[in-house]
A = this chain, B = another copy of it.
Amino acid sequence: MTGSRTGAGGGKVEITFLPSGTSVRIPTGTTVFHAAHWAGLPIESTCGGRGTCGKCGVRVVSGSAEPMPADHRHLAGKLDEGWRLSCQCTVVGAMTIDAPPPSTTPRAATMGVGRFVLLEPNVVKVLLEPAPPTLDDRRSQLLRIVEAVDEAGYACRYEWQIVPRIAEALRHDGPVTATLVGDHLVDVERGDTRERLFGVSIDLGTTTCVCTLVDLRTGSTASVASALNHQSTYGADVIARTAMAMQGPDEVEALRRTAVSTVNELLSRVREDAGVEPEEISEAVVVGNATMLHLLCGVSPESIALAPYVAAFLEPQDLRADQVGFDMQPLGRVALFPSIGAYVGADIVADIVATGLVRDPELRLLVDVGTNGEIACGNAERSVATAAPAGPAFEGGEILHGMRAVDGAIEGVRLTDGVVELQVIGDDAVVPRGLCGSGLIDAVAQLRLVGLLDDGGRMLAREAAQELGHPLADRIETVDEVRAFRLSDAVILTQADVRALQFAKGAIATGIETAMATLGVTAPELSAVLLAGSFGSYLDPRSAQVIGLVPPVPVDRIEAVGNAASEGAKMALLSFREREVAWELPDTMEYVELSGQGDFNDRFIANLRFPPLASLPDLEADALRSATTVEAAG
């Protein structure tokens, strides 16, 4: 790729679109074309905002807009009236724009979390009928194609490796099909191949990698596959892999190769499933946390791990597929989503795109719970992102019987009428062997709800529970001089486990609190709390609320949004407009560094406690009654 700097660094300015009067605040440096899309008023374009199709003209009613060369080319004679190509017009200050409605409505689909997306992929196939060379027209084959693409209304740049492809396609007369990814000319084929147009979105998770093959003509998913990240053999989490990478370049290269092999396994599966050739996949859009993206590019994440925790790169990257090593069109492009910070990665940016968090007026909170909790809060007006170091408890680490969410893990716990109901991963015969993150949170929340844990996290002694006639009193034991609650023959939850969870949830709750305090908003103002990431999908919203992992909002406002990151990547694949939004997103959000907050420790300590059950807005009276047990037993 050839990279460029993101955004313009300046502040935000307001741009108003007539005739609707819709306003949007956008970073300076954004084009009017993209600002309109931010405002939900897409302007017509076939070239993707590159100044070549000439269709995105608007009239500047107020504000500064010097005419650009493309304006002279396409709008000569209308410049004095204020007409400009919106894609060439960079916003430097407040503006009012009269934008004619599109004459044609592009196809659209609902994607992500209820987002309405215009299907205008970044990949375009153009049928060309280049005139054969003659003694009078001896242009090179390269120039012949480049000029034909230009005449078709598309800007194009090329890498020299396209030349043999062109020479092959032009060996015989007849039409050829040029494939453009953005303005990169990535293939030239003999004949008309416009029927075959594919892209993939890739969510390169630390644990799991998901690949979605998309038919870019229709927007439909042709195949999906997921696999364990092959890097897992080198260590389960980001910390283990970073430690390995810090050993030297060979280790970085080993991690890079395994990341690539993970993706290639998935590409091979989705291709086979859908009957698609590698060369037919023109673009991949990749999301993942900053460490995963560093390793995919063969960059050591060392600087992310060491104070002051800066990434080697956060900017979106536009890479060539053969250089990355993906088994797809060799000259095809691999687009890496931008990250917001070293610990608020491209996966969160994709979550935000999928949920529209920073484009809608309603105030929402997005939390991706994991070793590192990633938090975004806000709306179209203003938004804040931060990261909170939760530690390994949510992944079963530092928990006596903690384990990953595999067969034998307790993933759900209900304590009702003195009965312990366990939901265990695996078939019916599986014997519970330990607790995974969601089981841990459930167990602690249930112990709170049945009155066996106080606000401070202290577990009731067996004798005290027996005295109160608590039906689960006999489940309380003392193991190695520490109180514990027996969940099954093999699995107990200790007082120390509860403390570990308190530290983890305390960190995330502090991050959320800081983000909300920065915005000056309170829990009742939140229209939704979105739990992102695969862990978020398994989390019981009530449990998250009860332990205070999320702010005290009614449970029906807590929503798991599943693999929103994959959805965000897919949206960017299918809509160049959504992609622009994603690429500009880091510049539009405020980033708060928790460790830079003077009152972090105070807030953290306060957040170690569980919220008083009475403070939860929608807890039924009976739950509250039983929950008073532990208080009474003090």
Contacts and interface: CB of A to CB of B under 8 A. Distances in A.
A134 interface: yes
Contacts of A315: 140, 142-143
B593 A166 contact: no
Interface stretch (A116-124, A211-219, A295-303, A414-422): A295-303
Nearest to A309: B138
Contacts of A595: 135
Interface in A1-30: 1-6
Interface string A153-188: 000011111011011001100000000000000000
A298 B593 contact: no
Contact of A138 (B136, B164, B593): B593
Contact of A310 (B6, B67, B140): B140
Nearest to A596: B135
Interface in A338-357: 341-342
A3 B160 contact: yes
B157 A3 contact: yes
A138 B312 contact: no
Contacts of A2: 2, 157-159
| Chain copies in complex | 2
Contacts of A157: 2-4
A160 B297 contact: yes
Contacts of A170: 303
Which range holds the interface residue count of chain A?
35 or more
Nearest to A132: B308
A72 interface: yes
Contacts of A66: 67, 69, 72
A147 interface: yes
A543 to B, nearest CB: 34
A225 to B, nearest CB: 26
Contacts of A535: none
A312 B134 contact: no
A171 B142 CA distance: 43
Contacts of A72: 66
Given A135-B595, A163-B297, A299-B163, A313 B3 contact: no
A604 interface: no
Contact of A311 (B140, B297, B302, B342): B140
Given A3-B142, A5-B146, 12 more contacts: A3-B158, A5-B147, A5-B150, A136-B596, A142-B312, A143-B314, A143-B315, A160-B319, A163-B312, A164-B297, A167-B302, A171-B302
24 contacts: A2-B2, A2-B158, A3-B142, A3-B146, A5-B147, A69-B90, A133-B308, A133-B310, A138-B309, A140-B311, A140-B314, A141-B303, A141-B310, A141-B312, A142-B313, A142-B314, A142-B315, A143-B313, A143-B315, A160-B297, A163-B312, A167-B299, A167-B300, A170-B303
Interface of A: 1-6, 66-67, 69, 72, 90, 133-136, 138-143, 146-147, 150, 157-161, 163-164, 166-167, 170-171, 252, 297-300, 302-303, 308-315, 317, 319, 323, 341-342, 591, 593, 595-596
